[in-house]
């Protein structure tokens, strides 16, 4: 379907993740920004969970080996076909011989490329996602390299676009909603209040495993350690240095540091688009509010999927 001319910084095959295996010590992996991947799949007529490419900060250069409809969603890395700018959040035909490339980051951090018909990658534990740290899944368990050729079942379904109301805006200052807990007994009440009112900065030492935040130090009651516990997506660990770490797609499966909060599911994609240096404020909400927001997002995908069919 296409050949990799240049791989970019870290371009990997990702779907919605390898669920059900964390109990065996296997990271879920999957797209950091599941919203953008699903929208890209919707625009080319794929099932929402089909695998696409996740390109971080510096996008790849790809040569089309056959005609196929594609859509690019997520962070704006200035996509171009044959050195001419192309629209995002819209499907178009990537024709045989065309070269897809990217420029500088304009907004966000990660772009998602969906190909009509999907990518022919073997399932590993029910997922095509690349678990880079475990050299599992995706294309030989690694990021793409120059010369790689990926196959699929290409078909052309073009001229679908997403209404602007459903396109996220990636700002330099973010408000991320969290559910406080589960280890609030490990923190003084004033520490919890500080966490939910202070401004944090995304550290350059952030990656698919976790986002390190820099800001006011968060103290503990009786130390940072707990009996190792399962780590959910968005879990906010606070190690002994008092600087929070938000666990992301390629997180470890268990952790022994107290967690002060968990980022809600619908805000993880927005967080995934935060570049180092982005300012973040954490806002507490209830689990009932988080459930309602999640239901609304699932309903949105259901309605849009029905509409395009």
Question: Distance of alpha carbon 180 from its chain centroid, rounded?
Answer: 22
| ∠ CA 16-19-25, rounded to 5° | 125
As beta bridge partners, residue 235 has 262
Q: Which residues of 188-203 are buried (b: 16+ CB within 10 A; e: fewer)?
A: eeebbebbeebebebb
Radius of gyration of the chain (CA): 20
pTM of the model: 0.95
Q: In the chain, how many H helices and how many E strands?
A: 4, 20
| ∠ CA 218-170-36, rounded to 5° | 105
pLDDT per residue as tens, the chain (309 positions):
999 999 999 999 999 999 999 999 999 999 999 999 999 999 999 999 999 999 999 999 999 999 999 999 999 999 999 999 999 999 999 999 999 999 999 999 999 999 999 999 999 999 999 999 999 999 999 999 999 999 998 777 668 899 999 999 999 999 999 999 999 999 999 999 999 999 999 999 999 999 999 999 999 999 999 999 999 999 999 999 999 999 999 999 999 999 999 999 999 999 999 999 999 999 999 999 999 999 999 999 999 988 654
Q: Could you tell me which of 58, 76, 181, 71 has the C-alpha nearest to residue 118?
A: 71
């Amino acid at each position: 379907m296409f050949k990799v001319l240049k791989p970019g910084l870290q371009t990997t095959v990702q779907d919605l993740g390898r669920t059900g295996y964390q109990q065996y010590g296997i990271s879920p992996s999957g797209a950091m920004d599941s919203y953008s991947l699903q929208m890209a799949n919707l625009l080319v007529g794929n099932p929402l969970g089909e695998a696409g490419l996740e390109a971080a900060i510096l996008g790849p250069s790809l040569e089309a080996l056959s005609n196929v409809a594609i859509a690019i969603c997520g962070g704006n890395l200035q996509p171009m076909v044959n050195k001419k700018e192309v629209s995002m959040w819209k499907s178009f035909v990537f024709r045989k011989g065309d070269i897809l490339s990217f420029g500088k980051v304009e907004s966000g951090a990660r772009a998602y490329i969906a190909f009509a018909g999907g990518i022919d990658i073997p399932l590993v534990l029910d997922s095509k996602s690349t678990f880079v740290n475990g050299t599992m899944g995706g294309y030989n368990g690694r990021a793409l390299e120059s010369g790689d050729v990926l196959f699929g079942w290409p078909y052309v379904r073009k001229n679908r676009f997403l209404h602007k109301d459903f396109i996220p805006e990636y700002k330099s200052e973010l408000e991320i909603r969290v559910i406080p807990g589960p280890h609030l007994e490990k923190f003084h009440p004033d520490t919890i209040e500080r966490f939910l009112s202070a401004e944090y900065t995304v550290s350059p030492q952030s990656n698919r495993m976790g986002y390190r935040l820099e800001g006011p130090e968060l103290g503990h009651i009786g130390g940072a350690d707990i009996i190792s516990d399962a780590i959910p997506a968005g879990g906010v660990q606070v190690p002994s240095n008092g600087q929070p770490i938000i666990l992301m797609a390629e997180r470890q499966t268990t952790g022994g540091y107290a967690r002060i909060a968990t980022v809600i599911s619908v805000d993880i994609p927005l967080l995934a688009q935060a570049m180092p240096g982005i300012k973040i404020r954490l806002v507490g909400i209830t689990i009932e509010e988080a459930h309602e927001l999640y239901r609304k997002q699932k309903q949105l995908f259901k309605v849009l999927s029905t509409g395009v069919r």
